[in-house]
Every structure is written in structure tokens, then in C-alpha cells.
Chain A
């Protein structure tokens, strides 16, 4: 069965701290896709990244970086030098090649960045 676990319910940091959001997934499929979405206080969901199961290269985009490790079934998200605007709920999600549009979401991690 597919499952996404975000064990951190809420994280609070002070501006400029680095923070890592954890994501652990379960799937029997060998081809799958992992996503991160951001939900700011305004409520909309914003796509951040998509990674397929064959690409284990880490990715960096500005202050954001993602670490994908198949050996531990993890897809962690790090924000470097956090800012108040990073305050949001972050969701990790999984889809499988055999279930093309079924996104399985984790329960989300609420990040609060204080000035």
C-alpha cells in the first residue's frame, strides 16, 4: 500500500535558521513520483518540486534543496536561511506510475518562521 509519512507536525524556527522537513514514503511500485507542495496562510497549494524514482540526484533551487534517498525511502526538504515568508504548511506527496493521477499526501508539516 502507498503511504506518505511526515512525522513533524509543526516546526518553529527563527529567521535565518536552516530547517529540514522530513518525508518518508512507502510504495511497492518501482516507478513512482514524489512531490512537495506549499500551502501558505492564504490557503492555495503551490507546487515546489517533482522527482521520479530513477533520479536520485539532489536538487537545489535558491534557498530550497531536496535530498532523495531510495535506500531509506525518504525525500527530505531543506530550507536554508529561512525567512518569514517561508511560513506555511508543506506537504509531501507520492504518485505511482500505475495510478497516474492518484496523489497520496502526507499529513503536512506546519513551519513557522519567527522574525
Chain B
């Protein structure tokens, strides 16, 4: 099993560009989440999903969109990249709530 796979691992964007960070899991987990990690701030929840077709906002959702059309995939869209979105992004999945989360390897995004 591959677990949680994020692509790309690294990305540089220009301000104003859009892009999609991909996240796929092969564990048939219902719950999936996106976090961003910034120095000194830990991980903060951007968006999450408790199943296909269901998404909700986390702590820092502005500037990001998500959708969940399948159980396996949970892409994160940056609509118009800003330097403040420079961060490391982690996707996570878990079989149900309040249990161990499995994290992807992360995507390091730089917006110039």
C-alpha cells in the first residue's frame, strides 16, 4: 500500500497563478484533511472531508478550495497564489474521526 500520496513534492509559483495540490490515499479512509505548516505555528487545518461529497472549512480556509468526488482523492486548489501561502502542505487521512491520522510526505510550496 502506498498510503497517502501527495504531488508535487516541490512547487514554485508566481503571485496570482493558480494550481492544484494532489492528494490520494489507497486505504479506503473516509476522513481526509489538508494542513499547512509554517515555522513556529505548528500545523493548521485548511479544509477537511468526512466522506465523498462532503467538505468543510478548517481554521485557515481563505484562498483555498477543495472538493471530494471520490473516497480516494482530495485535491487542494489555490485560486490566486499569494506569498502568504508559501508553506509546507500536508494531506492526511484516517478511517474515522478522533483516531490516528496518516500523513503524506508534504508539498513544499513557494510563492514569489
Contact = CB atoms under 8 A, between A and B. Distances in A.
A91 B35 CA distance: 14
Contacts of B48: 101-102
B105 interface: yes
Interface residues of B, number: 28
B33 A103 contact: yes
Contacts of B59: 102
Interface in B70-112: 88, 90, 92, 94, 96-106
A101 B50 contact: yes
Contacts of A52: 98
Interface in A79-111: 91, 93, 95, 97, 100-108
**Chain A contact residues: helix, strand, loop or mixed:** strand
Interface size class of chain A, counting residues whose CB lies under 8 Å from the partner chain: 20 to 34
A70 interface: no
A102 B43 CA distance: 11
A107 B42 contact: yes
Interface in A36-59: 43-45, 47, 50, 52
A43 B42 contact: no
A44 B103 contact: yes
A64 interface: no
B98 A33 contact: yes
Given A47-B100, A50-B99, A101 B31 contact: yes
B45 interface: yes
A101 B103 CA distance: 13
Interface of B: 31, 33, 35, 40-45, 48, 50, 58-59, 88, 90, 92, 94, 96-106
Given A33-B98, A101-B98, A103-B101, 11 more contacts: A33-B99, A44-B106, A45-B92, A45-B101, A95-B97, A100-B50, A100-B96, A101-B31, A102-B48, A103-B35, A103-B43
